[in-house]
């Protein structure tokens, strides 16, 4: 039969607290525009590169009007892996001619974010 005697720990025993939490950081991830191009199909692609000293979590991009105040639509969210990664987003076809703003935000595993914007001009080819 197992012993049920209490175990005594001396008052001088060191106390250790072990916590598992996301590492706090005050350093923001770096996010830059890698390229903005139009494919032969007419699709417009914007690609952003993210880098950080710790693991990245995700990147999201939204399309806004020229004033960056009205969101036209979400371009999506992508999961990132490691400390260096990239995300590509397609500008939807059928937009009226004009200037739009793509706003991309990257987040690291601690929840720290960085945001960049890029102006995109939509100008459909005119029939001659």
Q: What is the per-residue pLDDT across 93-125, written as a single tens digit (0 to 9) for each?
A: 888 989 999 999 999 998 999 999 999 988 876
Domains and CATH numbers, the chain: 30-122 (2.60.40.2550)
pTM, full prediction: 0.72
Distances (CA, A) of 121 to 65, 67, 92, 106: 11, 13, 12, 23
Report DSSP state, residue 41. T
| Each residue's pLDDT tens digit, 22-73 | 555 568 889 998 988 888 877 788 999 999 888 899 999 999 998 889 999 9
20 alpha carbon, distance to own chain's centre: 24
Strands in 84-91's sheet, in edge-to-edge order, are: 30-38, 44-51, 84-91
pLDDT at 127 > cutoff 60 = no
Query: CA 106, CA 79: separation in Å to the nearest integer?
Result: 10
pLDDT at 18 > cutoff 50 = no
């Amino acid at each position: 039969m197992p012993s049920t005697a209490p175990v005594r720990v001396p008052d001088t025993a060191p106390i250790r607290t072990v916590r598992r939490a996301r590492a706090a950081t005050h350093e923001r991830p770096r996010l830059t525009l890698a390229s903005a191009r139009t494919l032969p199909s007419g699709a417009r692609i914007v690609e952003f590169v993210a880098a950080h000293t710790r693991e990245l979590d995700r990147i999201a991009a939204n399309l806004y009007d020229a004033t960056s105040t009205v969101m036209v639509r979400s371009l999506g969210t992508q999961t990132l892996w490691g400390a260096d990664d990239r995300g590509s987003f397609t500008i939807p076809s059928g937009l009226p001619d004009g200037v739009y703003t793509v706003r991309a935000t990257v987040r690291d595993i601690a929840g720290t974010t960085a945001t960049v914007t890029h102006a995109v001009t939509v100008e459909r080819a005119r029939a001659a």
